[in-house]
Amino acid sequence: MSSEVNISFDFDSIIDEIESMGKDVNKIEKNTTLKASKIVAEKLKDNVTSSNINREDYVHMKDNVKISHLKEDEELNRIRSIHFGNLQYKAKWHEFGTSKQEPDYLLSKTIKETQNEVKQVIDNDIKKSLGL
């Protein structure tokens, strides 16, 4: 399992339909994936535990959740990544644990908790773009 959350959707089955209606597929895909990514990012912030360190220069994972731009992966799927920037290595500790720390499955738990809401956002945006 990766230590970042990737949001990807298979738009191939409906792209031709949307294009035939004169809609801007890239704009719809960009906006829809951003909305879905924001849902996951907010839940990730809620699920991550804060450390007790209060130094001014200390960066907490909760304060460092990032959403990538829309990009293509190796299989040409368009994706957005939700990650912790330069603190990404800490996500592995949360997801898989260490020799002294049990895993809390931060990423898996977040995906499971947001799955239905993300699907609903995608469905609503696609229906809206098709005028349904």
User: Where do the domains of the chain lie?
Assistant: 5-130
CB atoms within 10 A of CB 111: 19
Dump pLDDT digits (tens) for 82-129: 999 899 888 889 889 999 999 989 999 999 999 999 999 999 988 888
Please give the Cα distance from 96 to 107 (Å, whole number): 10
pTM (predicted TM-score) = 0.78
Average pLDDT score, the chain: 86
Closest CA to 38 of 10, 2, 12, 5: 5
CB contact at 8 A, 7 and 79 = yes
| pLDDT tens sequence across 12-71 | 666 776 666 666 778 888 899 999 999 999 999 999 988 888 888 888 889 899 999 999
* pLDDT given for residue 8 in this prediction: 65
C-alpha span between 73 and 8 (Å, rounded): 10
- Counting Cα atoms < 13 Å in the Cβ hemisphere of 81 gives 11
**End-to-end distance of the chain based on CA atoms, in angstroms?**
37
